[in-house]
Amino acid sequence: MYPDLDTCLHDEMAVATFKGPPSECCGNGKMERKPSGRRRVFVQTETGCVLGMELDRRDNAHTVKRKLQVAFNVPTEASSLICGDMVLKNDLSVVRNDSPLLLTRTFLHRSSSTPCLSPTGRDLLQRDQSGPIEVIGCSDMFSGTKQLVKDIMKAIKVGIEPIPIQSGLGGAYYFRNSNGENVAIVKPTDEEPYAPNNPKGFVGKALGQPGLKRSVRVGETGFREVAAYLLDHDHFANVPFTALVKVTHSIFNVNDRVNGSMHHNKKQISKIASLQQFIPHDFDASDHGTSSFPVAAVHRIGILDVRILNTDRHAGNLLVRKLEGFGRFDQVELFPIDHGLCLPETLEDPYFEWIYWPQASIPFSDDELDYIYHLDPFRDSEMLRMELPMIREACLRVLVLCTIFLKEAAAFGLCLAEIGDMMSREFQGLHEEPSELELICIEAKKLLDQEELFSYEAEAEDKDVIQFQLDCEDRDLDFTTNIEEKLTVMPPFQVGATNGIIRNTLSRLEESVMEDEAESEGELPFGGDEYNGPVGNGVPNVSRLSVSVKNTRTGEKSRQQMGVKQKSGFLAGTSSGNTTVNELPASSCFVNLTDMDEERWNQFLENFQRLVIPAFVNCKRGNVSKKQRQRLGTSCQF
């Protein structure tokens, strides 16, 4: 049976579960609602233990936890059931069929040395009934991966075992076909760098905590690999077949919970992992001169990297395969892999190895421009929500923003190198400066805050005028005979006394008018940053922005001190009684995209699109610094 429940080695942490509506998991309509209303989910603890189970319509978060408690014999009183951004309470309708879920605990009820008790009797009904390898998701794009799974299962039945991969920072395994050939690479989510069961000593964090990149959480690189494949429409950039799977095998690593050492056993262990087609190749880009790389291949990979804000496109994750045959001397094709550090939760500094290759400075072809023109980031976001329900909204906002930037830049006539340069940060000594893309976002948010501040002040002024009129009407007519005397006693414009407090509304209105006049003369209400006047439709000149980290942070503080109304963040709301997971700690983050609700987010995008054209003009005129950027590099091969 897969898996054997008494092989659950990490019972000290409560299990996380999910439930989801059955008919909404696919945008292609292939998945129909089951007559019984039952649906399949994959439950994962924060230490990596996985259980596949079926739920019916009557199940809620409480009943799911109880089922897991029966199956694993673990306490679940202080556990949180997490689905993507949300901490589920009772309503599980937001969770779709085939969802991988996570249950985390806030503290332990017993020591980590407590043995795992095996269920008996009717409790065995909770035993995992899924197969050794199951694809999570139902997209038609997974058809190639499903064929790989069939080949792997045939090989396992005849005794051909997977092989651990020694290179890289995370746990990875070659899975083979019946001929002993490598056909897929499997990377368990709980064996990533810093994850609980990492086999190479890089441990120390639970699933869901900030990882190698603080904007990418531990255990969440796997679905990013799948997202990159799903976003590679028409196999444009040659991303190999990739899918999220639940896989059961004895080859996987489990670390001892007490001393952190590897625990060797021959029992079946179920894990959630990314499974990617293995591409036979001759070398990677670091072992081959880049001059022979086709321009189209570099462009296509670069277009994908820009869309997904890839923070780890180094030469080691570009596979190179020679093309054999007559007339193909020295011709190669490229395959991009390892996309676990794409789609960060905040705007990060990307790492584009191709940015200084000569191919990146050649203009886009008509076919490439047509492909970019037809990209729809909002449709892509909806597709990822359907296929990867655990993906966070912050990642989708990065996708939308970067795709819009790519489309506008390509339409304006920028080449790939110019686009990548505008997205990359610059290091000056020990200081990291925001990229041109981030500067545009900073100004777009500033405009948004200014509009909100002006609206708030106008609303306050209207209220003051109304109150002033009411105060005047309520004055006793008997005072009219003595009004000249009163005016000689009262300070100018102080009218209307309530509970002994003198209101000075007209003077406040006068001050507001003076502020408006000061602003019209070019002074910003927030101070600190330069404003070079409008550039068409009131759009500020982006090139005059302050680009230092210090001024950027000071501007944020000054806005808070001005008392601008702050709406609740888009990811901080509640739906159906469910709350949201805390955001990641800030780490060199100049722009927060998650502190806006839907209305403000749409207005921000409008401001952003108005600002990009002046920025592109500056880029073409050479106003953007062309100095060689100092790079820290991220060769994070998993």
Q: Are residues 225 and 329 in the same domain?
A: no
Mean pLDDT of 2-8: 38
**Whether the model pTM is above 0.85:** no
DSSP 213-229: STTSBTT-HHHHHHHHH
Q: Are residues 136 and 90 in the same domain?
A: no
- Residue where the block lists tokens 């002024």: 461
Q: Are residues 402 and 294 in the same domain?
A: yes
Q: Are residues 309 and 424 in the same domain?
A: yes
User: Is 28 strand, coil or helix?
Assistant: coil
Contact status, residue 557 vs residue 582, Cβ threshold 8 Å: no
The conformation of residue 239, written as its DSSP 8-state character, comes to: P
Residue 601 has pLDDT above 60, yes or no: yes
Distance, in Å, from the CA atom of 592 to the CA atom of 445, rounded to the nearest integer, reads: 9
Cβ-based neighbours of 293, under 8 Å, separated by 6 or more: 285, 320, 332, 334, 357, 359
Q: Is the dihedral of CA 301, 303, 309, 311 positive or negative?
A: positive
Encode pLDDT of 95-104 as tens digits: 777 788 887 7
Q: Are residues 315 and 346 in the same domain?
A: yes
3 state SS for 49-86: CEEEEEECCCCCHHHHHHHHHHHHCCCCCCEEEEECCE
Is the residue at 495 inside a domain? no
Encode pLDDT of 310-341 as tens digits: 999 999 999 999 988 655 657 899 999 999 99
Residue bearing the bigger pLDDT, 293 or 103: 293
Contact status, residue 238 vs residue 125, Cβ threshold 8 Å: no
pLDDT at 333: 93
Q: Which domain holds residue 394?
A: 280-451+594-627
For residue 454, what are its two tokens? 């002006």
Distance, in Å, from the CA atom of 394 to the CA atom of 401, rounded to the nearest integer, reads: 11
Q: Are residues 286 and 433 in the same domain?
A: yes
pLDDT at 565: 37
Q: Are residues 249 and 149 in the same domain?
A: yes
- What CATH number is attached to the domain comprising 62? 3.10.20.90
pLDDT band, very low/low/confident/very high, at 62 (cuts 50, 70, 90): confident
Is the residue at 13 inside a domain? no
Is the residue at 603 inside a domain? yes
Is the residue at 637 inside a domain? no
Helix (H) or strand (E) holding 246: strand 242-249
- State how many domains the chain has: 3
Distance, in Å, from the CA atom of 206 to the CA atom of 215, rounded to the nearest integer, reads: 15
Q: Are residues 290 and 368 in the same domain?
A: yes
Is the residue at 243 inside a domain? yes
Encode pLDDT of 228-286 as tens digits: 999 999 999 999 999 999 999 999 999 875 455 555 556 888 899 999 999 999 999 98
Nearest to 612 by CA among 437, 449, 446: 437
Q: Round the average pLDDT of the chain to a whole number and report it.
A: 74
Is the residue at 392 inside a domain? yes
User: Is 606 strand, coil or helix?
Assistant: helix
Is the residue at 142 inside a domain? yes
DSSP 540-588: B-GGGS---HHHHHHHHHHHHHTT---PPPGGG--BTTBEEPPPPPPSS
- Residue where the block lists tokens 């277009």: 303
pLDDT band, very low/low/confident/very high, at 464 (cuts 50, 70, 90): low
For residue 559, what are its two tokens? 């806005």
Q: How many helices (H) and strands (E) does the chain have?
A: 13, 21
pLDDT at 584: 58
Q: Are residues 441 and 309 in the same domain?
A: yes
pLDDT band, very low/low/confident/very high, at 299 (cuts 50, 70, 90): very high
Residue 18 has pLDDT above 70, yes or no: no
Encode pLDDT of 523-553 as tens digits: 433 333 433 333 444 444 444 443 333 344 4
pLDDT band, very low/low/confident/very high, at 598 (cuts 50, 70, 90): very high
pLDDT band, very low/low/confident/very high, at 462 (cuts 50, 70, 90): low
Mean pLDDT of 598-609: 95
Residue bearing the bigger pLDDT, 609 or 588: 609
Q: Beta strand pairing status for 39-45 and 99-105?
A: parallel
Is the residue at 302 inside a domain? yes
Q: Are residues 79 and 93 in the same domain?
A: yes
Indicate the residue among 278, 311, 341 that finishes a domain. 278
Q: Are residues 322 and 404 in the same domain?
A: yes
Q: Are residues 298 and 286 in the same domain?
A: yes
User: Is 471 strand, coil or helix?
Assistant: helix
pLDDT at 253: 92
Contact status, residue 398 vs residue 593, Cβ threshold 8 Å: yes
Residue 180 has pLDDT above 60, yes or no: yes
